[in-house]
Amino acid sequence: MSSSNEIINVAFIGNPNCGKTSLFNDYTGAKLKVANWPGVTVEKKEGSYKFRDKEYKLVDLPGIYSLTSYTMEEKLSRQYILEDEVDVIIDVADASSLERNLYLTLQLIELGKPVVLALNMMDIVEERGMEIDIHRLPEMLGIPVIPVSARKKTGLEVLMHAVAHHKNKSSLEKLEHHHDESSSTKHKHNHHYECVMVYSDDIEDMIDVVTERLQVKYPDMINFRWHAIKMLEMDDEITERYPIGLADIVSRSYELDIINQKYDFIEEVIQECLVNKDKKAHVTDIIDAIFTNRILGLPIFLAIMALVFFLTFTIGDSLKGVFEIFLKWFSGSTRGFLGSVGTNEVLISLVVDGIIAGVGGILTFLPNIFILFLALAFLEDSGYMSRVAYVMDSIMGKLGLSGRAFIPMMLGFGCSVPAIMASRSLEDPKDRMKTILVTPFMSCSAKLPIYVIFSQMFFPKHALLVTYSMYLIGLMVAVMVALILNTFDKKKSLHSLLIELPEYKAPNARSIAIYVWGKVKDYLSKAGTTIFFASIIIWVILNFGTHGMVTDMSQSFGASIGKALSPIFAPTGLNQWKIVVALIAGIAAKEIVVSSMGILYGIGNINSVAGMAGMSAGLAATGFGALNAYSLMVFCLLYVPCAATIATIKRETHSWKWTIFAVCFQLGVAYFVSTLIYQVGKLFL
């Protein structure tokens, strides 16, 4: 084997939140999402790293607690390390909670592939004054153990060095256990020299019997012992794939016994290797006593969200002035320049009234979007997200959902696309479907510009309150829908909250920067693509009619479409052709509702005092008042999700039927709630 150009395939595996993705990013320079709640990584991601002549192909996998195959993450990760060409498994463990992490480690060792244990978060271990016996641990586990810190970037090269060195050693190093061996002499193997994890005699005997059968029937099988253990656990996948007449040997599943014996061994390891336990008082425990308190938990969550939107609104608004000046100058000078070089009037109108008004108008909301995502990143990386799931668990339980389903919903405040993808961490497929159906009701960042504009135009004194009410209405509608679905659901599944509460961490500046920059980039590229093209299309349909170019917009194609559909909207108070056109356009992306308003009302910068004044005058002239505005905001909050979200729903559910149902359902809910608000409102105003 030549040492140069050698490629080593390495898979990162470990519990959620132990820092796999952080490590992966350190090595590969990738910018994958890191956050402090389980279920962030839902797909395997590949990257590469070079060190001393060797190339390492690294794979980041979703976090798992064990090698069973109950959740989608477990299935994906297990399948990958079992079947793919993985040379070495790096088991990433959070060294500050070693006991919990070692369970998966024992299962990985049993697999028989080369495993290297990366003890991550050593910075926290040191900070807390914990001490781990780094020499005893590998002796007991029979695998190399390398202390690292993904955050401080320590131990990274040593880890890869160990991987290269360990690559071809699937057999375990010499094991030194201090068991009382005399009691197990009746057993024909001396397992303590062969395997790390030795079970009680009755289980070991059964493993031997199953192994013999497997050897006869499937002589090519790799790692008989692992398969035998899985058979005793009655693992569905393995027992189906290798039928050996298991029923003659065992009458029940030994899963619980096997789990318990593994934990007994872990206790031994911890006793010997964890010299100094955590001495510092747990900050996490103190904070959690308040944040996850049964009574205070929910009000604290609502207050935190209110604070987030308050910051988004006020800071975002104070920054927009800069954009305003720039945009005014830019559209003015573009018009001047194009005029001076003798550009055709139609083209000037397209550029200035179409593209700049549409795209530029949307760019002025960048500060709001930036602050919103900064706040969400902070909540995610600190570990608060999992607390929300925990706090919401009892409420969600009444809706027939587990608390974990609240994480995708909460992410929906940012964007529905990743939120819907995060629903993969839900075990029950029915839970997933329900969660996917209600997540788009959570008000995403793209709807923010709509609230900013309409609440300031029509509720100048209570703009903030009106906006916050949108978020609450979205939350309430999601809850109601889940509740209604639950009453139809005959076979109710029992839910237990399988969520780990990760420790609070001071958010990492780099992770947050990566996250926020990713979102800002998405927003900018959306402005440059979807909104750019939508602006052109809208300008065209508003400036052309059956007789060619029109001077009066109400003679255009757009007007004809809007006028044809507007009677349907009468009960909602939105029966104006311009609004209808904006709503249809908004299906491409929700920001387009606002950008097309700019084009429809001929306003250069909609997010400015003059722009809003112009538009509210235009609207008021047609009898569109505060109540109509509120109905519009609610309709935008609830109606058909954007094209990207629809595509994601299709991809995640693998069903057009479900996707179309979801779209029609959301449209129906929006229509119903807006009508309710408009009609009831009319009685009082």
Annotated binding-site residues read 14-21, 25, 28-29, 39-43, 60-63, 120-123
Give the closest residue to 269 by CA, choosing from 384, 372, 169, 133: 133
Binding at 17: pick from ligand GDP, Mg ion, none (beta carbon under 5-8 Å per type): ligand GDP
Question: What number of chain residues touch Mg ion (CB under 5 A)?
Answer: 4
Pairing of the two strands 115-120 and 145-147: parallel
Q: Is 82 exposed, middle or buried (0-12, 13-18, 19+ CB in 10 A)?
A: middle
Binding at 162: pick from Mg ion, ligand GDP, none (beta carbon under 5-8 Å per type): none
Which C-beta is closer to Mg ion: that of 43 or that of 99? 43
Q: What is the CA radius of gyration of the chain?
A: 30
Which C-beta is closer to ligand GDP: that of 20 or that of 387? 20
Judge whether 261 and 107 are in contact, CB under 8 Å.
no
Which C-beta is closer to ligand GDP: that of 24 or that of 224? 24
Question: Can you tell me the distance from the alpha carbon of 301 to that of 499, in angstroms, rounded to the nearest whole number?
Answer: 18
Q: Which long-range contacts (CB under 8 A, 24 or more apart) does 532-535 make?
A: 532/355, 532/358, 532/359, 534/358, 534/585, 534/588, 534/589, 534/592, 534/595, 534/596, 535/354, 535/355, 535/357, 535/358, 535/359, 535/592, 535/595, 535/596, 535/599
Binding at 392: pick from ligand GDP, Mg ion, none (beta carbon under 5-8 Å per type): none
Binding at 511: pick from Mg ion, ligand GDP, none (beta carbon under 5-8 Å per type): ligand GDP
Pairing of the two strands 54-60 and 88-94: unpaired
Q: How many CB atoms lie within 10 A of CB 484?
A: 11
Judged by DSSP in three states, 578 sits in: helix
Per-residue string for binding with ligand GDP, 104-133, x by CB under 6 A?
----------------xx-xx---------
Q: Is 63 in the site for ligand GDP (CB under 6 A)?
A: yes
Q: How far is the CB of 54 from ligand GDP (least distance, A)?
A: 24
Judge whether 598 and 365 are in contact, CB under 8 Å.
no
Annotated binding-site ranges for GTP:
14-21, 39-43, 60-63, 120-123
Binding at 105: pick from Mg ion, ligand GDP, none (beta carbon under 5-8 Å per type): none
Q: Is 269 exposed, middle or buried (0-12, 13-18, 19+ CB in 10 A)?
A: buried
Per-residue string for binding with ligand GDP, 336-375, x by CB under 6 A?
----------------------------------------
Q: How far is the CB of 518 from Mg ion (least distance, A)?
A: 15
Q: Report in angstroms the alpha-carbon separations of 27 from 55, 290, 427, 516.
A: 12, 38, 31, 21
Binding at 22: pick from Mg ion, ligand GDP, none (beta carbon under 5-8 Å per type): ligand GDP
Q: Please state the length of the chain.
A: 685
Choose the binding region for Mg ion from 18-26, 118-126, 296-304, 393-401 (rule: CB under 5 A). Answer: 18-26
Query: Which of 10, 11, 13, 17 touches ligand GDP (CB under 6 A)?
Result: 17
Question: What number of chain residues touch ligand GDP (CB under 6 A)?
Answer: 25
Give the up-direction half-sphere exposure of residue 587: CA atoms within 13 A in the CB hemisphere.
11
Choose the binding region for ligand GDP from 12-20, 133-141, 222-230, 447-455 (rule: CB under 6 A). Answer: 12-20
Query: Which of 100, 136, 505, 563 touches ligand GDP (CB under 6 A)?
Result: 505
User: Under rule CB under 6 A, which residues in 31-50 are in contact with ligand GDP?
Assistant: 34-36, 40-41
* Tokens found for residue 288: 């959690």
SS3 letters across 81-93: HHHCCCCEEEEEE
Query: Which of 15, 25, 41, 653 touches Mg ion (CB under 5 A)?
Result: 41
Question: Can you tell me the distance from the alpha carbon of 74 to that of 46, in angstroms, rounded to the nearest whole number?
Answer: 18
Query: Which of 151, 262, 404, 495 touches ligand GDP (CB under 6 A)?
Result: 151
Q: Is 21 in the site for Mg ion (CB under 5 A)?
A: yes
Binding at 124: pick from Mg ion, ligand GDP, none (beta carbon under 5-8 Å per type): ligand GDP
* Tokens found for residue 510: 């780099």
Q: Is 616 in the site for ligand GDP (CB under 6 A)?
A: no
SS3 letters across 225-238: HHHHHHHHCCCHHH
Query: Which of 456, 511, 530, 595 touches ligand GDP (CB under 6 A)?
Result: 511
Interface positions with ligand GDP (CB under 6 A): 14, 16-22, 34-36, 40-41, 63, 120-121, 123-124, 149-151, 381, 505, 508, 511
